[in-house]
Structure 1
Amino acid sequence: MQYLLMIYSEENRWNQMTDSERQQGAAAYQAYTESLKKAEALAGANRLQHTSTATTVRLVDGKPQVLDGPFSDSKEQLAGYYLIDVPNLDAAISWASRCPGAGHGIMEVRPVWTAPSDAPSAA
């Protein structure tokens, strides 16, 4: 089953770190990603650009309303994600707790919804 591990962190924290701390952080994420690959659990991953580059779109009276920035202001922002394929929620939680993001932010674990027509058939 696929799970999305969403990493929420303080966006400006990276800029406040020393070069050495940034190098250690990047190395930790690289090692984590390699662990997921080795376990054949990684389905995808990306780091997101800052919220200042975000665009929010919603329909108002049937017409798109486009706004600069994220939908909500909060202390932590969605910084990136890992899409993993593991047997169950316990395995997903185990991977989330090992992610470097859990040490400096919040990890949200959410199962990916599979449409009934996308579900494997029982043959």
Structure 2
Amino acid sequence: MSHYAILIYDSAQPAGAAPERDPHDQHADELAKAGTMVAAYALQPGEQARSVRAGGVTDGPFLETKEVVAGIYVVEAADLDAAVAIAARNPAVRQGGGVEVREIESGTLPG
């Protein structure tokens, strides 16, 4: 089994305008009960981000885009296809956002 990062993208929205959270919580609970979820993090809106480059720190996300990274899941799956199947059930896909799946090459996970 390998670990995969699922990057959850949503439209850039101001604070307080996030999509309905209940479906996301239910999805995370289902993954946890199945033993698939390793970690899950919802992120603050991009307007609260700070970007750091060699020239200094600026307010906002690194790139100006219509979509921002709204959250990150780390899941355990047999292979990339299995991780994609897990990601496809994410509510963001049905709420106008999307997900990106990447195998985690190295690092340290909580726990």
TM-score tier (shorter) = 0.7 to 0.9
Structure with the bigger percentage of helix: 1
Taking only aligned residues, the RMSD between alpha carbons, in angstroms, comes to 2.1
Q: TM-score with structure 2 length normalisation?
A: 0.84
Aligned letter for 1:105? G
Matched positions, count: 105
User: How far 1:99 moved relative to its partner?
Assistant: 0.5
Deviations 1:48-103, CA, capped at 9 Å, x for gaps: 1111111111124xxxx111111111111111111111111111100110000111
Highest Rg: 1 or 2? 1
User: Which residue does the alignment assign to 2:48?
Assistant: 53
How much identity, in percent, do the aligned residues show?
31
1:38 paired residue number? 33
SS in 1 for 2:85: helix
**TM-score normalised according to structure 1 size:** 0.77
> Which residue of the other structure, out of 74, 90, 102, is the alignment partner of 2:65?
74
Residue of structure 1 in register with 2:80 after alignment: 89
Equivalent residue number for residue 9 of structure 1: 10
Letter of the 2:4 counterpart: Y
Output the CA distance in 2 between the equivalents of 1:51 and 1:30. Answer: 21
Give 2:24's aligned residue. 29
Give the corresponding residue for 1:121.
none
Secondary structure class of the residue paired with 1:32: helix
Gaps of 5+ in 1: 119-123
- 1:40 partner SS: coil
The one of 99, 104, 122 aligned to 2:90: 99
Q: What is the CA–CA distance in structure 2 between the aligned matches of 1:67 and 1:27, rounded to whole Å?
A: 33
